[in-house]
């Protein structure tokens, strides 16, 4: 059984409350339940959310050291600003899929650039929470 981590960055703990017109009404807890329901018999899923860059970086290093098989990451705003998060993903040597709930290319221009995307195997943007499902399906086939 593959071990896959789902990492969420800043403000994703506010899903369902923050800008529901962009991010929808489902919470992070709802997403976790849905992913466990779909993949729980095929993958060991670990969920982690932090509003702190260093905690995400530490978690990525731990995932690499404990032989995880892949990462699904929604780095939130750190996607566009964090060279350190990019370096952590590169250094982990794990397949990673970057997920964005909204279509970042239909939003503010500063969101069009992802510093972390080049460190990832794939990027999914604009599929809503379905992007997480697609990312896990991809990693299960990798």
Non-local (6+) Cβ contacts of 98 within 8 A are 73, 74, 75, 79, 114, 116, 117, 120, 122, 123, 124
**Distance, CA of 84 to CA of 68 (rounded, Å):** 20
Non-local (6+) Cβ contacts of 61 within 8 A are 88, 91, 92
Non-local (6+) Cβ contacts of 41 within 8 A are none
Neighbours of 54 (CB within 10 A): 11
80 is catalytic: no
23 is catalytic: yes
Per annotation, catalytic residue among 80, 93, 100, 132: 100
The alpha-helical segments, DSSP class H, found in 24-76 are 28-39, 53-65
**Distance, CA of 66 to CA of 137 (rounded, Å):** 21
- Catalytically active residues are 23, 100
């Amino acid at each position: 059984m593959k071990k896959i981590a789902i990492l969420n960055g800043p403000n994703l703990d506010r899903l369902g409350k923050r800008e529901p017109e962009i991010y929808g009404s489902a919470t992070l807890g709802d997403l976790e339940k849905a992913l466990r329901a779909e993949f729980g018999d095929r993958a060991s899923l670990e969920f982690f959310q932090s509003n702190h860059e260093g905690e995400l970086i530490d978690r990525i290093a731990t995932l690499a050291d404990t032989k995880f098989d892949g990462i699904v990451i929604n780095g939130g705003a750190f996607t566009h600003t964090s060279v350190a998060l990019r370096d952590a993903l590169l250094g982990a040597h794990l397949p990673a899929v970057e997920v964005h709930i909204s279509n970042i290319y239909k939003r503010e221009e500063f969101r069009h650039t992802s510093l972390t995307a080049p460190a990832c195997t794939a990027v999914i943007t604009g599929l809503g929470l379905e992007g997480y499902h697609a990312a896990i399906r991809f990693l299960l086939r990798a």
